[in-house]
Structure 1
Amino acid sequence: MTAHLPAGLGRLPAALQWAIVACLSLATTTPLYMTGFPAALMIGPMLAGIAVALSGGTIRVPKLCFFAVQVVLALMIAATVSQDFVGTFLRDWPLILLVIFSVIAVSTFSGWTIARSGVLPGTTAIWGSSAGAASSMLMMAEAYGADVRLVAFMQYLRVLFVASLATLVAHFSGHQGTVAAHAWFEPVPLLPLAALLAIGILAGLAGQKLRIPAGAFLFPFAIASVLNTSGTVTIVLPQWLLVIAFALLGWNIGLGFTRAILMHARRALLPTVLSILALLCFSGLLAALLVFVLGVDPLTAYLATSPGSLDSVAVIAASSNVDIAFVMTLQTARLILVTFIGPWLARLVANRA
């Protein structure tokens, strides 16, 4: 029996594949960055990762690196928090819950429709359509017996759509997100930085140990936010560290679109795309509701209702002039609710489908 041999870029050594994805990232990121696209430092590497993965590339971002990325992004967002998340939630909780449950309901209905059509098994369709953090949905899907490859395809395809559309909306609505390149290497006090990273890493490890969904992001984010708003610590991260984190996040998303997964999911491609577009349109209507009722900025409302991955939405929010506290309140609350009711919904809808 002949062993399956890698094709395309997969035949090259891993070091050479990384060199190729790095060069492609430079080529895709530079024009986006120069024209002021928010989150260009994530979108460019994501596009490069997709190109390499579809060309047969076999490299993946190591789990340890992705853990570090989540910790850095959590600290970055915590540095921007200027008001109490609980206060934000309590002030407008009826409308916030309405928006969150509406997104969950529509995403669940999309999963039920795909399962009902017979294109995918019930639990796979539900977890693939769930509007939570992609990494958390993958872990939970595996625990409940879904096809993880198909769930990954559906989740990351939605992340790709949401991140790309949100970046375009941010750019063309005048939200420029570029930091001057010379600012990347401005000095930052090393001892406070080391202490801050140590706190973030320990909190991330604790979040994983406690099996908190997206714990490597949410736990450091919660602790650092409290420390920052109380004045206990001042969070200052070097720009070069954020650039690395954005690139690794983009690669982590892009490199997941392998040819094997696309071939495995080809029957589900059209229904998945249609369900994503329907969910994006519905999220746009919910964003319009938030703008009309609460008077928030349109991009803030859109990012708050976007059914994308928590970390990618956080990067786009941090790269734009929006109310990050409001965005993260809705995104975090939805993730918590999906985590608690997701298994029950998956079983219920799979049985009905």
Structure 2
Amino acid sequence: MVTTPRCAVAPPPSLAHPPRRRRTVWPALAVAAYAVGEVAEPLVPAPHLLAPMLAGLALALAGFTAGRLPVRVNRCSQALLGVLMGSYLDPRTLDQASAAVLPLTAVTAATAVLGLAAAAVLTRVGRVDRATATLGMVAGGSAAVVSCAEELDADPRLVAFMQYLRVALVAATAPVLVQALLVSTPTTPGRAVARAVAWHLVDGPRQGTGLLLLAVVATVGSVAGRWVRLPSPVLLGPMLLAAAATGTGLATGFAPTGLLRTALFTAVGLDIGLRFTRPAVVRVRHLLPITLACTLAVSAACAALAWLLSVTAHIPLADAYLATTPGGINAVLATAVSTHANVPLISSVQSLRLFAMVLLTPLLIRSAVRLRRRS
């Protein structure tokens, strides 16, 4: 089979800015993104996720940014998001997920099959090698998938582009679609949440103790996640540790809320938008139509799976849709919290698929390569 040469996406020219200049640009950019979210709050759903993402996308394509979000800020936001998600995962709130375990497992398996089918189309029509196409179409664990691309003899730059194209589409459409579904669907019991005190940073009454616990859970969870080699360890490690602490009653009152949670969602949206630099888009423009078509097809099929899950498991359609979106776990969970969806159910399904995709993808790629060589 004829394959395209590896795409070498050059870093944006703005990365060449001196470190001192970048240190001054980033705080200003973060404040501007937060302000954009505040202005958009009456106009769009999940404004502190969607508005910064669109602003970052526009800036990145125009070449006016200081590059991607700093690594430390990105890791910190992932760890805090993991703690926030883990704080929702207690035994009582997971009853609904356990009752629908068979349909949820079937939907997860069907999503994996859809990703493999899209990879096969991309391999044949787009003439992309099998490993790159499979990793690019895997629905879940984008950061972990991109990090293992080179090890699996795939093109990491092209894998990153395909992964984050899907993440951006999910992040841009999920808040709008979920808001529309919520308007057309009666409010389900337990969807409303208490409004946090404006100046609080964590949801407990003791802010100092809560912030200290938050730092400990985020740090220890991240280190433990790397130690046991979890996929996306900086996200899943703190999430599992926070879930254990909350579920056992060992510690509470440390989940991000108020201004801290808003800043967290702003960082997630900005990070997604800034990944689409102009040089990256120019380098892979010949693959953009087929990649976009495959991504839209997988997303539409996942929406159909959400409707089927809603009917068979009696889950509200908005919750089922967020649980079955093809990847973009950070954006999906941020949307779930912003719209007061069933966060435990959504976190469980998205995490299950993330684990399954990241663990099974290397095996699938190696098997496909062996079969191709034998044939």
Q: Cα offset for 1:79?
A: 2.1
CA contact (8 A) 2:126 2:287 kept: no
Deviation of residue 174 (structure 1)? Answer: 3.6
Residue 200 of structure 2: aligned partner: 186
Pair 1:159 & 2:178 matched: no
Q: What do the CA deviations read for 1:183-240 (whole angstroms, capped 9, x no partner)? A: 4423752023212321221111121232210111112111211211222111343422
State the aligned residue count: 349
Map Cα deviations across residues 54-78 of structure 1 (whole Å, 9 max, x no partner): 1223422122221111111111122
Q: What's the TM-score, normalizing by structure 2?
A: 0.84
Change (3 A) 1:297 1:248: same
Within 1, Cα distance between the matches of 2:361 and 2:208? 42
Q: Are the aligned partners of 2:196 and 2:257 in contact in 1 as well (CA < 8 Å)? A: no
**What is the match of residue 222 of structure 1?**
240
Q: What is the Cα deviation at residue 10 of structure 1?
A: 6.9
Letter in 1 for 2:83: L
In structure 2, C-alpha distance between the alignment counterparts of 1:7 and 1:68, rounded to whole Å: 26
Deviation larger for 316-325 or 17-26? 17-26
Match of 1:212 in 2: 230
Q: How does 1:1-353 map to 2 (within 5 A)?
A: 13-15=21-23, 17-18=25-26, 21-22=29-30, 25-26=33-34, 28-35=36-43, 37-38=45-46, 40-56=47-63, 57-83=65-91, 90-174=98-182, 183-186=197-200, 188-236=206-254, 237-349=256-368, 352=372
Change beyond 3 A, Cα 1:331–1:157:
same
Question: How far, CA to CA, are the matches of 1:292 and 1:178 in structure 2?
Answer: 23
The 1:282–1:220 alpha-carbon spacing in structure 2 relative to 1, beyond 3 Å, is same
| CA deviation after TM superposition for structure 1 residue 92, in Å | 2.8
**Counterparts of 2:194 and 2:106 in 1: how far apart (Å)?**
40
Question: In 2, Cα distance between the equivalents of 1:307 and 1:45?
Answer: 21
Structure 1 residues 196 and 17: CA distance shift in structure 2, 3 A: closer
Distance 1:18 1:344, change over 3 A: same
What's the secondary structure of 1:173's corresponding residue?
helix
Name the TM-score, length of structure 1 as normaliser. Answer: 0.89
Q: Distance in 1 between matches of 2:338 and 2:174?
A: 11
Does the 8 A contact of 1:134 with 1:155 survive in 2? yes
Contact 1:85–1:329 (8 Å) recurs in 2 = no
Give the Cα–Cα distance (whole angstroms) in 2 for the partners of residues 252 and 239 of structure 1.
20
Measured after TM superposition, the shift of residue 278 of structure 1 is 0.6
Pair 1:6–1:134, CA change in 2 (3 A): closer
Partner amino acid, structure 2, of 1:74: G
Distance 2:167 2:307 in 1: 21
Shift of residue 156 of structure 1? Answer: 0.7
Identical-residue share of aligned pairs (%): 26
Name the aligned partner's letter for residue 73 of structure 1.
Answer: L
Residues 180, 331 of structure 1: CA spacing in aligned structure 2 closer, same or farther, 3 A cutoff? closer
| Residues 220, 9 of structure 1: alpha-carbon distance in 2 compared, 3 angstrom cutoff | closer
